[in-house]
Structure 1
Amino acid sequence: MATTRPTSRDVARHASVSQATVSLVLGGKWQGRVSPRTAETVRAAARTLGYRPNLAARSLRLGRTRTALIVVPALTHDYFARVHAGASGVAAEHDFGVVLYPSPEGTGPAVDPFGSARAALDGVIASSMAPEALAALRGGGLPLVMLDSDPQGDRAAATVNFDISDGMHQAAGHVLGLGHRRIAHLAAAVDTWTFGVRARALAQALRGTAGTSLRTEPADLSVEDALRAATRALTAAPRPTALICDDDLLAAGACKAARRLGLRVPQDVSVTGFDDLSLATALEPELTTVRLPAEEVGAAGMRALLTVLAGRTAHTPVLPVELVCRGSTAPPAAGR
């Protein structure tokens, strides 16, 4: 026997509010018009009744599909899974759908997804993309929100960033504070804004400390290439006592290189990462790294896109980051 699907009128009756209030809350337009407490009461009533809005009818009425595209360099990095989780959580609160689209070449040019999908999308969120990969996005004719990208670029309706420079300054300050002066930088061989900021911030952080040397070894974002880059760094003379890595994957390769050379982490060489992936606590010793709140940047990006779609100027926050000190760093052997 078929059950009757709950309507917005049922939700209004259950929450003791008007249908207009239900429409505002479930349509994501309640801010400034309905109190947060009432909005939560309406959402709770909808959950209790199992209410689902008729998105097809709403799309026809609004001329929108209520679907956003999230473009990421790759799906093999759990950072981007967390970005997606943050964005899709906010999207769900506003009855938006999310489509995840990886660039097939990682950080290279993405195939134009708009040829067949343009009519089925309302906007685009692009995370940590290389400049050459953005041509198709800029030509899509849809509102574009950039995450972890150049805030000075003119291609985006809004940009949401981490304080990447501060994160690298924290990592460098930690290593210098332990007494390290011979430092190698395992730099991601990727032409994106975020990795450029990391390199400049590290050089700046070391510039003010006398007796410091910096060797840079570029590496693709893989454990295997980081292994080779770290081996080059650790077999150079004089050998660095600390490796500062642009990414936790690079740091994992650095730890592997140290072990293969008979070196101990952190007794013989300290290693730091960036991102705080799940990998960071799978390593032994666990990795000192800069934690990026990926879910928060995804959520902020989706909120920015929704604001742009509502015809308003989006707030473009810079999210704070945090150095998490674990067992992969210690004072250099000569200083203990």
Structure 2
Amino acid sequence: MARSSTRPTSRDVAQAAGVSQAAVSLVLGDKWRGRVSETTAQRVRQAARDLGYRPNLAARNLRLGHTRTVLLVVPALTNEFFAGVYTGAARVAADHGFGVVLYPSPAGIGPARDPFASAQAALDGVIASSMAADAVDEIRGDQLPLVMLDSDPDGSPGAATVNLDITDGVRQIAEHLLTLGHRRFLHVAADVASWTFDVRARELAARTAAVPGTSVRTIHAPLSIEAALTAVEAALAQPGPHPTAMVCDDDKLAAGAYKAIRRLGLRVPDDISVTGLDDLALATAIDPELTTVRLDAEAVGERGMQALLAVLEGRTPDAGDIPVELVVRGSTAPPSAS
């Protein structure tokens, strides 16, 4: 659809969508549920996008006392997972006339400072990814709704928690390696005090403990390739038989493990199988390509924004963890006879 040379109006959107201006106002004001159909709402939003129409949010927000702005707090911008979370959240937010401000916490997963003169005046809600709920206390105070992503659901003060099924992801990894015949494991654990990494350690321990003759040794490394290289190299230099499989808490740690294994003249997967968890772009850039668990970061962001919208509207957010998928590639094989 060709865009007008002048700024489009709500009347233009109504004509393009074949609805009344009142319906346009309801849909773009996110008050359409129970008043117009989902199909009509989608048609109005598409017409607004095609025309490049933007409602005068500033004037409307002054009337309603809302900013229609959400803060997404993440530990860092250096991990592509959080870029996917932002993409998903921003997509849902845009469809509902909201904006998303991305804020990497200066302290990582630690307490985040308020980036505004007054967050409670500047925001309608907060979404925090992979952080403890109390890390955003200064931002949200006791006023702003909070949705936690990839965080401990038990005892959280957040109005909702959205999680990937990390437990099932580790279960899939463990069952894959155990079925291949591995019994000596090295867990390359992230040296980060976070619920999501605690879950990985607990589930791996539980799954391997159920199989007689299986042992797991754990080492810790910061979330970087070089840190994992150093930690794994030291572990493999220890006396005794090498592990036949390494379970790494994320793909960066797995890449470091690759380098350490090769420096010692060993091969992946002939001598040691390696798994990751994330399915970052890195997973198919290394050779052999990495067996890992695919996490749908965009789905996390979408569900997080949907949960916050539900809270703002007085609805109950959808429950249930987001499914994950084991992607088997060339880094895992049965243990060698030696």
Report the TM-score, using the length of structure 2 for normalisation. Answer: 0.94
1:293 aligns with 2:290: no
- Counterpart of 2:282? 279
SS of structure 2 residue aligned to 1:126: strand
Counterpart CA distance in 2 for 1:277 and 1:32 is 40
SS of structure 2 residue aligned to 1:231: helix
- Shift of residue 134, structure 1, vs aligned partner: 3.6
Counterpart CA distance in 2 for 1:170 and 1:91 is 33
Gaps of 5+ in 1: none
1:310 equivalent among 308, 313, 318:
313
Counterpart CA distance in 2 for 1:289 and 1:310 is 38
Counterpart CA distance in 2 for 1:232 and 1:223 is 14
Counterpart CA distance in 2 for 1:324 and 1:314 is 30
Counterpart CA distance in 2 for 1:40 and 1:58 is 21
Judge conservation of contact 2:127–2:148 (CA < 8 Å) in 1.
yes
- Counterpart of 1:180? 182
RMSD: 1.7
- Listed as ranges, the matches of 1:59-74 within 5 Å are 59-74=61-76
- Counterpart of 2:335? 332
Judge conservation of contact 1:186–1:217 (CA < 8 Å) in 2.
yes
1:250 aligns with 2:220: no
- Shift of residue 115, structure 1, vs aligned partner: 4.1
- Counterpart of 2:223? 221
Counterpart CA distance in 2 for 1:228 and 1:121 is 43
- Listed as ranges, the matches of 1:1-336 within 5 Å are 3-130=5-132, 133-137=135-139, 139=141, 141-236=143-238, 237-334=240-337
Judge conservation of contact 2:132–2:152 (CA < 8 Å) in 1.
no
Judge conservation of contact 1:137–1:144 (CA < 8 Å) in 2.
no
Deviations 1:193-233 (A, max 9, x none): 11111110000110111110100001111111111121123
Judge conservation of contact 2:120–2:141 (CA < 8 Å) in 1.
no
Counterpart CA distance in 2 for 1:82 and 1:266 is 30
Aligned length: 334
Counterpart CA distance in 2 for 1:190 and 1:21 is 49
Counterpart CA distance in 1 for 2:65 and 2:322 is 33
Identity of aligned residues (%): 67
SS of structure 1 residue aligned to 2:181: coil
- Shift of residue 131, structure 1, vs aligned partner: 5.8
Deviations 1:233-281 (A, max 9, x none): 3223221011001111111111111111111111111100001111111
SS of structure 1 residue aligned to 2:163: strand
Judge conservation of contact 1:73–1:106 (CA < 8 Å) in 2.
yes
- Shift of residue 113, structure 1, vs aligned partner: 2.9
2:153 maps to a residue whose letter is P
- Shift of residue 128, structure 1, vs aligned partner: 0.4
Alpha-carbon distance change, 258 to 167 in structure 1, aligned in 2, over 3 angstroms = same
Counterpart CA distance in 2 for 1:18 and 1:65 is 26
SS of structure 2 residue aligned to 1:319: coil
Counterpart CA distance in 2 for 1:260 and 1:140 is 53
Alpha-carbon distance change, 229 to 104 in structure 1, aligned in 2, over 3 angstroms = same
Counterpart CA distance in 2 for 1:131 and 1:312 is 21
Gaps of 5+ in 2: none
- Shift of residue 138, structure 1, vs aligned partner: 5.2
Judge conservation of contact 1:233–1:240 (CA < 8 Å) in 2.
no
Counterpart CA distance in 2 for 1:114 and 1:311 is 26
1:293 maps to a residue whose letter is D
